[in-house]
Amino acid sequence: MAASQHPVILFAQHEVMPRNQIRSVLQDEGYDVLAAADGSEALELFRAHAGTIDLLLTAVELPAVDGLSAYRQISTERPNMKVLFLSGNGTPSALALTDAWPTIATPFRPDTLLAKVTEVLDECQPMTEKHLNVILVVDHDKGRRDRTSKILTENGYAVLTANSVEQAEALADTIATIDLVISGIVFPGHSGIHLAEHVEASQRKVSTLLISHFDRALLHKMPGFSRQPEFLPNPFTAEALLTRVRRLLDA
């Protein structure tokens, strides 16, 4: 197949109408577009057109394989692949990305999308391995949740947030690319220990860091806690949190 004379965009979006509309906007601007309905199809298209794709434009929440997982797999096969994430309603709204992860919030105007695509293609550098780490922060207290998320995003991590164990479990089941769960222990309804057990049962290589102001000796009496050795007392400093995060991610 002859090389394209125009930049080639691999575009993944599961909703038919937005996929068709965005594809038309890009094609009218002169881009060649390979459209996928889910992350699995995006991976197939990437491998079928190896070396010709200039940008991955993807929603985060996708069937089969989510957008983050698709990008991480693609970046292992082609480390210099550039990416632009679409964030909007549902799961993506809980995702906090650093500036190293180019993102555009939906809904957006066509000219806003085109300007962002041009910016990513012309200026953005491929991300480093550190920027590929995704952390799920779970806390029913918005202030603590926002503070923890801010510390992590300012240090280059992508952060998903949830305000309950039930919401966190739904996110963990939807977004395969989660490297670490940071959770409180005491919640209305299920506990953080229940969340850790849920993640462990998925047989994914995901560590859990539990945070609580309760004494660890008391927490050991809670069912399941003894199987969760990673614990950070609350309140905690940014350095204490980051040190523990780096240790767990490097393990």
pLDDT of residue 110: 94
Instruction: Give the pairing of strands 231-233 and 207-212.
Output: parallel
Contacts (Cβ under 8 Å, ≥6 apart) of 1: 49, 52
Average pLDDT over residues 177-183: 86
Q: What mean pLDDT is reported for the chain? A: 82
Task: Map out the domains of the chain as residue ranges.
Answer: 8-122, 133-250
Using pLDDT thresholds of 50, 70 and 90, give the confidence band for residue 179: confident
Using pLDDT thresholds of 50, 70 and 90, give the confidence band for residue 127: low
pLDDT of residue 221: 61
Long-range contacts of 232-235 (CB under 8 A, 24+ apart): 234/144, 234/184
Q: Indicate if the pLDDT at residue 36 is higher than 90.
A: yes
- For the stretch 63-75, pLDDT in tens is 888 888 899 889 8
Using pLDDT thresholds of 50, 70 and 90, give the confidence band for residue 88: low
Q: Indicate if the pLDDT at residue 90 is higher than 80.
A: no
Q: Indicate if the pLDDT at residue 26 is higher than 90.
A: yes
The residue with greater pLDDT, 170 or 149, is 149
Domain 8-122 = CATH 3.40.50.2300: yes
* CATH topology match: 8-122 vs 133-250: yes
Q: Indicate if the pLDDT at residue 105 is higher than 50.
A: yes
Q: How far apart are CA 162 and CA 150, in angstroms?
A: 14
Q: Indicate if the pLDDT at residue 220 is higher than 80.
A: no
CATH of domain 133-250: 3.40.50.2300
Q: Hey, what are 72's tokens?
A: 């991480």
